[in-house]
Amino acid sequence: MTALINVENLLKTMCDQLKGELQARSVEQPALIGIRTGGVWLADYLHKALALEEPFGELDISFYRDDFSRMGLNPRVRPSHLPFETEDRHIILVDDVIMSGRTIRAAMNEIFDYGRPASIILVTLLDLGARELPIQPDIVGQSLQLQRHQRVKLLGPDPLRVELRERRENT
């Protein structure tokens, strides 16, 4: 199934949709933010495709996860880096995969700690459904239905490709 996912083609389509969305909302200078790690690779692509001059931001949501009491702290946390003010800006938030919606909830909380944005457009490459929070992406590359034991992962950055992983049942 993943052999059928052509990331490059999906990104081209998403980019066109995103341009349409920005136009419809009359957003002229959006600020782009990718969520580590996959979202940053995609943001890098969109940054070039949209010919944005301002550098894009990178978000590490480890400090904002809601499963700290169960999963603990990510030992490989790296600093977030937003090279612009978020106050009153129109933000494009990019991640590779959306499922429960909890990552996006954490990312939005983090963004608000930098300032109050004017709006946020959510862009994800893959939508796996199975949402646990009322959060929906505005632009989606492709929706996928996975079996319970399956997981997908975006590999990259060059080339960007999607890998399907079989997970052992008893975990």
Partner 1 sequence: MSTSPASDRHIQLNPFGQLRHFLSIDGLDRNLLTEILDTADSFIEVGERSIKKVPLLRGRTVVNLFFEASTRTRSTFELAAKRLSADVLNLDISTSATSKGESLSDTLLNLEAMASDMFVVRHAQSGAPHFIAQSVTPGVAIINAGDGRHAHPTQAMLDMLTIRQHKGRFEGLVVAIVGDILHSRVARSQVRALLTLGAEEVRIVGPNTLLPRDAETLGVKIHNDMRSGLRDADVVIMLRLQRERMEGALLPSEREFYRQYGLTTEKLAYARPDAIVMHPGPINRGVEIESAVADGPQSVILNQVTNGIAVRMAVMSMAMSGQLAERQAAAETQASK
Binding positions for partner 1, rule: CB under 8 A:
60, 62-64, 68-70, 72-73, 75-81, 109, 112-115
Nearer to partner 1, 12 or 81 (CB): 81
Nearer to partner 1, 55 or 115 (CB): 115
Nearest-5° Cα angle at 86, 93 to 118: 75
Q: How far is the CB of 157 from partner 1 (least distance, A)?
A: 21
Short-list 56, 54, 35, CA closest to 44: 56
CB 152 within 8 A of CB 128: yes
Q: How far is the CB of 36 from partner 1 (least distance, A)?
A: 11
Strand partners of residue 30: none
Nearer to partner 1, 110 or 141 (CB): 110
Which residue matches tokens 């550098």? 55
Amino acid at residue number 167: R
Q: How far is the CB of 69 from partner 1 (least distance, A)?
A: 5
